[in-house]
Amino acid sequence: MNYMVKPKLDKFREARIAIEIVVDCYNEVECFGGWFCYLEEKLEFPFRARCVTRREVSPLKKGEEVEVIGMLDEGWDNPSEILVRIKWQGRKLSVPLAQLEGIGVNGLAAEAIADWHYWSAQGYCF
């Protein structure tokens, strides 16, 4: 399901992703692991985020703000996207990182989130 506008091809970002994130990944599980490690290293939890797009698998509405408290790293036998743990309306749940943008995050975290948005919007998958 394409839920974001496909961005123009960014050769610099493509090369950086290939060299830093998915290098030596030969299957879906390795690719997921590369992305997971990259994001976990660059993101500083907790951080505030805003929902930028509605997703059928998430209760968040565009514009809602949440606190991101970590990466979802359990129970992934067949990963299809990166999920993060959030606090929302007094509960903890997981939502796709692709639907969130960081609020007031450092440059490395903002770049990592933008990298994942780019990858997802290009239609790449694990």
Q: What tokens appear for 67 in the block?
A: 């606190």
Q: Is the predicted pLDDT of residue 1 greater than 50, yes or no?
A: no
| CA gap 91, 86 in Å, rounded | 8
2 has pLDDT over 50: no
Question: Sign of dihedral through CA atoms 116, 119, 123, 124?
Answer: negative
pTM value is: 0.89
Q: Report the percent of the chain where pLDDT is more than 90.
A: 76
Between 25 and 69, the higher pLDDT residue: 69
The answer for residues whose C-beta is within 8 angstroms of residue 71's C-beta and 6 or more apart is 36, 39, 40, 43, 82, 83, 84, 85
Question: 21-62 pLDDT, tens per residue?
Answer: 999 988 888 899 999 999 999 999 999 999 999 999 899 999
Using 50, 70 and 90 to split pLDDT, how confident is the model at 93?
Answer: very high
pLDDT reading at 122 higher than 70: yes
